[in-house]
Amino acid sequence: MSTEQTERPDQDGARESASTTAVYVYGIVPSDVEPEEHASGVGNPPADVSVVRSGRIAALVSEIPTDRALGTPDDLQAHAALLDGTVTVAPVLPLRFGAVLTDRDAVAEELLEGHEDELESALEQLDGLAQFVVKGRYVESTILQEILEENSDASQLREQIRGQSEDATREARMALGEIINATIESKRNEDTRRTVEALASLDPMVNERQPTHEQDAVHIAVLVELERQDELEGILQDLGREWEERVDISLLGPMAAYDFVAKSDPGEDG
């Protein structure tokens, strides 16, 4: 990335480079951010990460060959790893995976210029914050027993089914399944509310995510001050003890604020 390389009078080589490579964009950062020496991006081998600056903001980028398809698990991991590593040292507006522009000039002109005030304001709002994902899953045997103890209809259906063939008890099994699913949904709503309530002292922004499994108890993203991560972990440990053998709780993060930013594509307003 030396000035000599970009200014050497090899026009044919420049045209060839422009036609065979493009610029992958990971996210927007303040203009004073410098990539770590070991930072690597998408590709095989992983591409070197650099920045394109425009005024007070910049974009984290790397060059990629235009004839290589993106989307491998390694690419997805590299995209997230770079953004999640950045958020521990500087605010970052993540872009959706697969954001590609023709060259560095296009990054400056189409993505950064004309949006400086908007993007700088968004970065200021994220300064010192990080996203975490809280996920809880019901312990199957425990939650089923809880439902049977609380719901007499479910308990009766369970007894009706016990020891009988599937064909003979198809309707009863369907009825029991409906009760269980509806009850878990109700419990999920209540346990999500309980989790958000427990985190209130952190003054978080919260985004409730859709469940990814039928036995999910909680699935939320929270945006909190990075320096309060220990408090967050402590609150969840207390909640885990309260729900011991009922809900298994996990915490992912810190990560970039994927759930809390609107900027997702190069040149997209808002």
What percent of the chain stands above pLDDT 70? Answer: 90
Answer whether residue 52 is part of any domain: yes
* Among the ranges given (41-45, 78-82, 118-122, 207-211), the one the predictor scored with the smallest mean pLDDT: 41-45
- 204 with 84, same domain: the answer is no
Answer whether residue 159 is part of any domain: no
Answer whether residue 156 is part of any domain: no
**189 closest CA partner among 216, 229, 168:** 216
Provide the domain limits for residue 95: 3-127
- 145 with 99, same domain: the answer is no
- 48 with 145, same domain: the answer is no
Q: CA 258 → CA 25, 31, 158, distances in Å?
A: 15, 20, 43
Number of domains composing the chain: 2
Answer whether residue 208 is part of any domain: yes
In angstroms, rounded to a whole number, what is the distance separating the alpha carbons of residues 33 and 4?
Answer: 23
* Three-class secondary structure of residue 143 per DSSP: helix
On the question of pLDDT at 16 being above 60, the answer is no
- 221 with 238, same domain: the answer is yes
In angstroms, rounded to a whole number, what is the distance separating the alpha carbons of residues 25 and 104?
Answer: 10
Contact in structure between 23 and 102 (CB atoms under 8 Å): yes
- 141 with 253, same domain: the answer is yes
What percent of the chain stands above pLDDT 90? Answer: 71
In angstroms, rounded to a whole number, what is the distance separating the alpha carbons of residues 115 and 76?
Answer: 27
In angstroms, rounded to a whole number, what is the distance separating the alpha carbons of residues 138 and 168?
Answer: 30
Question: Domain holding 202: CATH number?
Answer: 3.30.70.120
pLDDT tens for 163-215 read: 777 777 888 889 999 999 999 999 999 999 999 999 999 999 999 999 999 99
Contact in structure between 146 and 120 (CB atoms under 8 Å): no
> Please, what is the end-to-end C-alpha distance for the chain in angstroms?
32
